[in-house]
Chains A and B, each alone.
Chain A
């Protein structure tokens, strides 16, 4: 059985070797002229102010989580659309049930006030 995995082993070995080679090659071959600006964490944009460890309102997480759910719903719609012609009514009903449950959840979070920012 190990023989079957041998090709994967070779692939992993090549991947590691290549990554090491690329990093080491640029380390030894490249020139470096460090300056204060180059050493800064951000090359462009504004310089940061204050610590990055600060409290973030929980609302961001709630919105992000809700976004994720409906985002995944859309992802589901793609493969469904591909096979829709083949399965017709069956596909329609299945998706209607799925979307129906999500819409119920949507009504719930709406009425619960999870979408209100204030």
Chain B
């Protein structure tokens, strides 16, 4: 009799997230229905902070456990820190927004915690079943969160669309996993790589098809072209706080699993997937940026911009060298700060029953709400890649990785795309400062939690732009041993 190897310390952050998720649910049902439930958000925040402090001591240990199903290596931990920051800011935003929209149920916060748990599992999984379970835990929670605004048709449509297409994409992913198992007889990523190397299976049709299916499955989660069609509708309809969470957290988790599976299990196929990913990367950047130009709704514009950002990140994925992968980690964190910040501004400009999400609604707010407009400008400029902000350094790392691996065209197309994107980011800024207000926007309420979220996002964006070396060296240490 052999007991499975179990190291609870290794999964402490996940256990804490689960425990606090349940705590929030139970605290909700055991309190009177009519009561204001602000403390549920605070309880979730405490959970995230505790999970954070259990994540930090794991850094540098590089331990794995659970019979090769789970690892707490640097790569996973960097991403877990990112996910926890994202969840923290999302909950801060939600405390004002969810209250305003009347969706501040216990389930709302609990589902955010559960989906963060799923993301952590995706980053830590070294076994396809662990990764798949993480993906589903994350996705199912998000499907529900997207439809939280039950009275709003668009929100319900968003949840339904995301659920149907997501389930379809999951089917592809599972099929890919099954074929991978069929061809190699293992689901453990390292074992798969060893088996492929030892049997020389480079032209095995089953593995080829599996590679394609895995690309489709993960490509859906990271919203890459041509698997991006759901993004604008889902991002537009979902509650704005959840849109922010999806655009940053789900995308980061998708990249985590994509990188882990491709670089650990399928490094032998690098020449094959490099050419596919090259095309996907260019298509994603170009379609995202060009379609973003013609959007009139700010949430849709940010949705297309998030597609474009997935394209930039894929540039580094194609390069696949050390600076590329650490650049991706850096990018995901910088993108989390600036995108969450931008969505916070979008939320703050709305009020109950009046979302003000048309881009023209931003006309003239630069003088009425100077601080809000200034913050929005910072986030948009950061996304456009203008120094000295986080988004600029992220792009520098990503494109220099491509240049280093001699993907000159990819880098050139990336930079050109980045230049195109400046147009639609700056348009909002121009409207805010150089146009007369088109309609009166009054009575905005800035909840203290949202303002705190905004400040954290601002600090993060500036810090990563002004002192990138700290985060980058953390990222570089994190990827040791991944490839």
Q: Is there contact, CB below 8 Å, between A111 and B1?
A: no
CA distance A108 to B26 in the complex (A): 6
- Residues of B within 8 A of A (CB-CB), count: 8
CA distance A86 to B1 in the complex (A): 7
**A residues 66-101 with Cβ under 8 Å of B?**
86-87, 90, 101
CA distance A112 to B110 in the complex (A): 15
Q: Is there contact, CB below 8 Å, between B3 and A112?
A: no
**A111 to chain B: which residues have CB within 8 Å?**
26, 29-30
Q: Is there contact, CB below 8 Å, between B3 and A90?
A: yes
Q: Is there contact, CB below 8 Å, between A87 and B1?
A: yes
**A104 contacts the other chain (CB 8 A):** yes
Chain B residue at smallest Cβ distance from A109: B29
Name A107's contact: one of B1, B3, B18, B26 (CB within 8 Å): B26
**A87 to chain B: which residues have CB within 8 Å?**
1, 3
What is the minimal beta-carbon distance from A51 to any residue of chain B, in angstroms? 25
**Interface majority SS (helix, strand, loop, mixed), chain B:** helix
**B3 to chain A: which residues have CB within 8 Å?**
87, 90
**B1 to chain A: which residues have CB within 8 Å?**
86-87
CA distance A101 to B3 in the complex (A): 22
Q: Is there contact, CB below 8 Å, between A112 and B29?
A: yes
**B359 contacts the other chain (CB 8 A):** no
**A108 to chain B: which residues have CB within 8 Å?**
22, 25-26, 29
CA distance A108 to B30 in the complex (A): 9
Q: A86-B1, A87-B3, A90-B3 in contact; A104/B22 too (CB < 8 A)? A: yes
Complex interface bits, B6-47 against A, C-beta within 8 A gives 1, otherwise 0: 000000000000100010011001100000000000000000
Chain B residue at smallest Cβ distance from A90: B3
What is the minimal beta-carbon distance from B72 to any residue of chain A, in angstroms? 20
**A107 to chain B: which residues have CB within 8 Å?**
26, 29
Chain B residue at smallest Cβ distance from A112: B29
CA distance A90 to B4 in the complex (A): 9
**B26 to chain A: which residues have CB within 8 Å?**
104, 107-108, 111
**B25 to chain A: which residues have CB within 8 Å?**
104, 108
Chain A residue at smallest Cβ distance from B30: A111
Chain B residue at smallest Cβ distance from A83: B1
**B29 to chain A: which residues have CB within 8 Å?**
107-108, 111-112
Q: A86-B1, A87-B1, A87-B3 in contact; A101/B22 too (CB < 8 A)? A: yes
CA distance A108 to B29 in the complex (A): 7
Residues of B bordering A, CB below 8 Å: 1, 3, 18, 22, 25-26, 29-30
5 more CB-based (< 8 A) A-B contacts, given A87-B3, A107-B29, A111-B29: A86-B1, A87-B1, A101-B22, A104-B22, A108-B22
Could you give 19 example pairs across A and B, Cβ below 8 Å?
A86-B1, A87-B1, A87-B3, A90-B3, A101-B18, A101-B22, A104-B22, A104-B25, A104-B26, A107-B26, A107-B29, A108-B22, A108-B25, A108-B26, A108-B29, A111-B26, A111-B29, A111-B30, A112-B29
